[in-house]
Structure 1
Amino acid sequence: MKNNKIYLPFIIFAALAIGVVLGGMLNFPSQGVAFSKANPKNKLNKLLDFIDREYVDNVNTDSIVDLTVTGILDRLDPHSVYIAKNEFEQVSQSMKGDFVGIGVNFYMYNDTVAVIKPVEGGPSERAGIKSGDRILFANNYKLFGRKITNDTLFSKLKGSVGSDVELTIYRKNENKKLKVKVKRDIVPIKSVDIAVMVNPSVGYIKVNRFAETTYDEFETGLLNLKRQGAKTLIVDVRDNGGGYLDKAIDIADDFLKDDALIVFTKNKKGRIDKTYATSDGSFENGKVYILINENSASASEILAGAIQDNDRGLIVGRRSFGKGLVQREMPLGDGSAVRLTVARYYTPTGRSIQKSYEKGSEEYFKEFEKRFESGELYKSDSIKVADTLKFKTPKGRIVYGGGGIVPDIFVPLEVEHGEESIAYMMQSGLVGYFAFEELDKKRDDFKGLSFEQFQAKMHNSDAYFNTFQKYLIKNGVLLDLKHTKNLVKRYLAAEFARQLYGDDKYYEIVLKEDAMIKAVLERK
C-alpha cells in the first residue's frame, strides 16, 4: 500500500462558460489539394499537411492541432476555450445534471476505492452498500492495490440503465468481504445543494452551478419552502462560476414582474437580444437576497444583476468575479469542441460587468490577488470603481459596471487578513477526506448518537481540531489554525455531520454562524 497524498486545492476564480464553435478550419487536406495564396487560413492546413507527409520523425498531428487551437483561442479572451476529446464527455456530463452509474461518493484511499457515502436513494444505497465500504472488484476486474486512471475506473462502474455489476466489498467494521449486485440507474448530479428554512419565515437555497436541471431543482426547493411559510428568500450563488445563461434567466423570472427586463446581449454585428420576465413568476412579492462573492461569475452575475437593477432585492457579500461574456459551444467533428465568445451581456440598466482582459488570461485570473492586496475583501471602501461606470436603477439607486457586481450590503471575509486560505481550505475536499479517515477509524463512536448529542461531542472537545492540525502537517500543508479555531471546528463538525447525517445537517451547522446569513437576518 502507498501513502495517500492529499493536495490543498486553492480556490481560483474561474468562470464556467457556455461556449460556441469555430468550424472546419483545421481539416486536413489530401495530397495535391491546391492552396489559395489569398487565404491566410490555408497556411495552417498546409503546414500540418507538410508535417504529416514529410517531417523526419513520426508526429501525432492531433496533438499539434490541439496545441494550435488552444494557442489561437488564447489570443482572444479568457473564456474562449478548447475542450479536448478526452475531456468533452466529463464536461458535458457535469452540466447535464445526471449520469448512469452505481451512485457513490468515493475517493482513492491507500490505493483502494473507499465509499465516503452512497447517494441517497441511489442504486448502491438500495443494494446495501454503506459508508466506509471498500470496493475491491467490479465484476472480476480488480480495483485495489494498483494504479487505475479515472477513465478506467468510471468505465467499470458506469453502464447502461438497468445493467448489473457485481461488486466485491470489504466492510471494515465487520471485517468481512461480501458480494453485492448493483443495478445501474440514473444518478442525479445536484446543482441545488439545499433548500432549507433558516428561521420560520426565511428560506435559503444554495445553487452551486447552472446546469440543465437547475431550474427544476430550484423550483422544487422554492415551492417546498413556500409551503413551510417562507416570506423571504436567500439565494446563495457564492463560488458559483456560472453555466447555462437561460437557467439563471428562468430563476430571475420567478422573482420579477411580467415584462421586467432580465438581461440583454449584443453581438459583433450589433444585434441586441433582450429577455423579459413572464407572468409565471412563483415568488414575485416576498423579499429577496442574493449572496455573492469573488467566485460568483457569469450566470450568477446575470441573476444578481437582474435582481439589483430592477430594485427587486438586495445583493449581499463581496464584489463578484466580473464575467460579462457569452459563449456558445459546437463540436469540431472529432469528439472535441470549442467554446467561443459570441456576445457580451448587459444588466437591465445597461451595465457590462466584464472586467478587463487586456493583459492576457494569466493576469486576468490572478486579479483576485489584487483584491487581497488592496484590502477589498475586508473593507467596502477599498472597492475601486470608475465614476464613469455609474448607472441608476428605476428607484434611483447607484449601481456600477465594469469588474463585477458590487453588493448592496458588503460582508467581509470572516477571518483576519492573511488567513483567508484557511477559510477556503475548510470548504474544500481536503476536509472531507480527513473526516472520512477519522470516521473510518472510529465510526462506532458515533453509532446511535442523536444529532444533538453529536453536536455536543464535537463542540466540547478539541480532539479533532488537534488531529486535523497534525493531518495538515503530515500532508505538507503548513498552516497555523490556532487563530481560526472556531471556524475550523465549525467546518469540521459540519463535514462529519454531512457524512453521518446528510447535507441538511452540514448546512444546519454552517449557516448558523454564516456572516452573510447573519447580515440578512439582522435587517429583518
Structure 2
Amino acid sequence: MKSKEKYLPLLLFSCVAFGVVIGGMLNFPKRTLSKKNASKAKIERLIDFIDNEYVDDVNSDSIVDLTVNSILANLDPHSVYIPPSEQSSEAELMKGDFVGIGVNFYMYNDTVTVVKPLENGPAEKAGIKAGDRILYADKAKLFGRKLPTDSLYNKLKGEEGSKVLLTVYRKSTRKTLRLTVVRDVVPIKSVDVALPLNKTTGYIKINRFAENTYDEFRTGLETLKKQGITTLIIDLRDNGGGYLEKAVEIADELLKDQELIVFTKNKKGTITKTFATEEGIFETGRVFVLIDENSASASEIVAGAIQDNDRGTIVGRRSFGKGLVQREMDFDDGSAVRLTTSRYYTPSGRSIQKPYVKGESEAYVHDFEKRFESGELYAKDKIKVADSLKFKTKKGRIVYGGGGIVPDIFVPLEVKKGEENLAYILNSGVVSHFVFEQLDQNRNAFKGMKLQSLITSLQRDNRYVNQFEAYLKEAGLDLSMQNNLPLVKKHITAEMARQLFGENQYYQILLKDDPMIKAIVK
C-alpha cells in the first residue's frame, strides 16, 4: 500500500468538523456507572440470549458497542462512545505526557520512520536522528507489517526507566545501528509556541486545552512579559477544545477580579457561575484572540469571555459553535462515554451552541458545507445571525448567540474562493509527510544550512510547489496550486524549517504575512 493512500480521509473538510465534534470535550471528571436498573438488565439479557442461542457465532462486544453508539446517537452530536483503543491515546493527549522513546514518526512504505526526535528526549539522547527507520524494538519486527497503531505504540512505550534496544537503518549513511533507549516521561505540548512578534507584541499558540495547558500558557506569558510586551495575541485557530477549567484559568489571567468568565446550567436548572480572581498577570495590556471555523468549546469560552467583558478583540471567522458540556464515565474494559450534562453560557448570557436535530449528527458535521456555500468564509455580512438571540457586552455592544462566536474583526479564508479544500490540506499532516519525503531524498544536502539560506532557496522557484501538486495528484487529488502559489510555498517552507530547525522557526515563517496577524500588527 502506498503511504499516500492513507491521507485521503484527511483531505475533506467534513473530517475536520468531525474531529471537533469528537475532540471538543469539556470538564469531565471520572465517574462510575450506577447500579443495574430494569432497562440495563433487559439489554444484558438480550446480549446473553444472542451469545448463547444465536445460530451463528457473534462478537458480543461489537454488539454492545453498537448498542451504546445507537443510544448516544439519539441524544446530541457531542455525547460519544470512546472504545478502549482510542480512549488510552486520548487520555494521554489530554494528560499532556506519556512514557515512551520520544519521536515523531509515521509509517512510510510500511516502515516506522522518524520524522524528528523530540528535543532532549530519550531517543535523541540515544542518538536517534530524523530519517532513521526503526526496524526492530528488541526482537519485535516493525517493518514490512501492517501493524495496528495501538500495537505499534505498545512496542515503543513502557515503564519509566525501562530500556528498549532499537535496530535502526540510517539512510543518510546507509548503516544499520543498534541503539539502547531508556524510556522516560515525554511531554505532549498543548502550547506550541510563545514568542515575540516585535518589541511590544507577544504571540501564544494553543492547540488544545489539556491538563498542562494553563501551566504552559502561564510560563510563556511570564517570559513574554519580561521581554516587555504590552499586546498579547492568543491563537486558538483549529483548537477543538478540551478542559473547561483550563479555559477558565487562562481567561482569569486576562480579566479583572470578579468579572464573569462563564456559567453553566444543567437539566435541573442549577446555574454555576465562574468569576475571575485578582491574581491575573495580564489584566491591562491589549488582547487579541484569533479564531476560525474549527475553534470550539473551550476556545469559545475564552473568546466569549474576552468579547463579552470588552477585554479585547476577537479576530478571524465565526467559531464552530459548541456550547455543550460533557462528563466522562469509564467502563472496566478501558472504554468510556462522554455524556452531555449541561450547557455553558458566555458572560452576556448567550449560548453559542449551533442548532442540531437529535439523531442527525451527519447534518451537524456537514454544517461546514453550508458555510462554504453561503460565502461566510469570505464575507462577514454572509454570516447569518438571529435577531432573537441578541445580547449586549459589558459596554453595550451587540453580540449574537446561537451558533459560534462572531469575530469583531473579520478575516476571510486565505485561499481563493472555490479552492477551500486546499486550506485544509495545508493544515493537515499531508504537508509534513510530503516535506519529510523531500528531505529524505538527500538529507545531507541540507546539512549545515542556515534558516535564511533555506528560505531564500525555496523562494527562488516553484520546484517544491510543483512536486507537491504531483504528490497530491498521485494520491487522487487533482488540485492546482497556481492560484495560491505564495500560500502553498509559505507552508512548505515553514514545514521544512520545522523539521530542520524547530517549532519557533516554523511559526516565524508561517506568521509572516498571516492575514489575521496583519489585521492586528500594522
Which residue of the partner structure matches residue 364 of structure 1? 364
Q: Which moved more, 1:287-296 or 1:127-136?
A: 127-136
User: How many residue pairs were aligned?
Assistant: 511
| 1:178 aligns to 2:173 (yes or no) | no
Which residue of the partner structure matches residue 155 of structure 1? 154
Which residue of the partner structure matches residue 462 of structure 2? 462
Which residue of the partner structure matches residue 208 of structure 2? 209
What SS class does the counterpart of residue 208 from structure 2 fall into? Answer: coil
Which residue of the partner structure matches residue 481 of structure 1? 481
Which residue of the partner structure matches residue 67 of structure 2? 68
Q: CA deviation at 1:56?
A: 2.4
Q: Which moved more, 1:301-310 or 1:415-424?
A: 415-424
> For 2:492 and 2:205, how far apart are their aligned partners in 1?
20
Q: Which ranges in structure 2 are unaligned for 5 or more consecutive residues?
A: none
What SS class does the counterpart of residue 212 from structure 1 fall into? Answer: coil
Whether the 8 Å contact between 1:26 and 1:44 is mirrored in structure 2 is no
Q: CA deviation at 1:70?
A: 0.6
Amino acid in structure 1 at the alignment position of 2:283: E
Deviations 1:220-279 (A, max 9, x none): 111111111111000001110101000000000000001110000000001000000011
> For 2:109 and 2:318, how far apart are their aligned partners in 1?
41
Deviations 1:424-445 (A, max 9, x none): 2112111111111110112122
Whether the 8 Å contact between 1:317 and 1:407 is mirrored in structure 2 is yes
What SS class does the counterpart of residue 204 from structure 1 fall into? Answer: strand
Which residue of the partner structure matches residue 472 of structure 2? 472
Which residue of the partner structure matches residue 289 of structure 2? 290
Q: CA deviation at 1:196?
A: 0.8
> For 1:209 and 1:341, how far apart are their aligned partners in 2?
19
Which residue of the partner structure matches residue 341 of structure 1? 340
Whether the 8 Å contact between 1:81 and 1:340 is mirrored in structure 2 is yes
What SS class does the counterpart of residue 521 from structure 1 fall into? Answer: coil
Give the 4+ runs in structure 1 shifted more than 6 A: 20-23
Q: CA deviation at 1:57?
A: 2.5
Amino acid in structure 1 at the alignment position of 2:302: L
> For 1:147 and 1:264, how far apart are their aligned partners in 2?
47
Q: Which moved more, 1:10-19 or 1:440-449?
A: 10-19
Whether the 8 Å contact between 1:392 and 1:398 is mirrored in structure 2 is yes
Q: CA RMSD in A?
A: 1.6
Where do residues 41-120 of structure 1 align in structure 2 (5 Å cutoff)?
42-120=41-119
Q: Which moved more, 1:500-509 or 1:460-469?
A: 460-469
Whether the 8 Å contact between 1:83 and 1:336 is mirrored in structure 2 is yes
> For 1:41 and 1:175, how far apart are their aligned partners in 2?
60
What SS class does the counterpart of residue 250 from structure 2 fall into? Answer: helix
Q: Which ranges in structure 1 are unaligned for 5 or more consecutive residues?
A: 28-35
**Larger Cα-atom Rg:** 1
Distance verdict in 2 for CA 1:452–1:58, change over 3 Å = same
Where do residues 430-449 of structure 1 align in structure 2 (5 Å cutoff)?
430-449=430-449
Amino acid in structure 2 at the alignment position of 1:305: G
> For 1:469 and 1:305, how far apart are their aligned partners in 2?
39
Which residue of the partner structure matches residue 272 of structure 2? 273
Deviations 1:307-341 (A, max 9, x none): 00101001000000110000000113332211100
Which residue of the partner structure matches residue 313 of structure 2? 314
Whether the 8 Å contact between 1:26 and 1:45 is mirrored in structure 2 is no
> For 1:330 and 1:42, how far apart are their aligned partners in 2?
19
Q: CA deviation at 1:46?
A: 3.0
> For 2:333 and 2:441, how far apart are their aligned partners in 1?
47
Distance verdict in 2 for CA 1:243–1:477, change over 3 Å = same
Q: CA deviation at 1:21?
A: 8.1
Deviations 1:89-131 (A, max 9, x none): 1111111100000000111111111111000110011111111
Amino acid in structure 2 at the alignment position of 1:342: T
Q: CA deviation at 1:23?
A: 6.2
Which residue of the partner structure matches residue 398 of structure 1? 398
> For 1:57 and 1:367, how far apart are their aligned partners in 2?
41
What SS class does the counterpart of residue 265 from structure 1 fall into? Answer: strand
> For 2:40 and 2:144, how far apart are their aligned partners in 1?
50
Deviations 1:185-243 (A, max 9, x none): 00011111111111111000000000010001111111111111111000001110101
> For 1:509 and 1:135, how far apart are their aligned partners in 2?
31
> For 1:517 and 1:456, how far apart are their aligned partners in 2?
22
What SS class does the counterpart of residue 3 from structure 2 fall into? Answer: coil
> For 2:35 and 2:470, how far apart are their aligned partners in 1?
53
Whether the 8 Å contact between 2:33 and 2:329 is mirrored in structure 1 is no
What SS class does the counterpart of residue 58 from structure 2 fall into? Answer: coil
Q: CA deviation at 1:58?
A: 2.7
Whether the 8 Å contact between 1:22 and 1:338 is mirrored in structure 2 is no
Whether the 8 Å contact between 2:96 and 2:187 is mirrored in structure 1 is yes
Q: CA deviation at 1:20?
A: 7.4
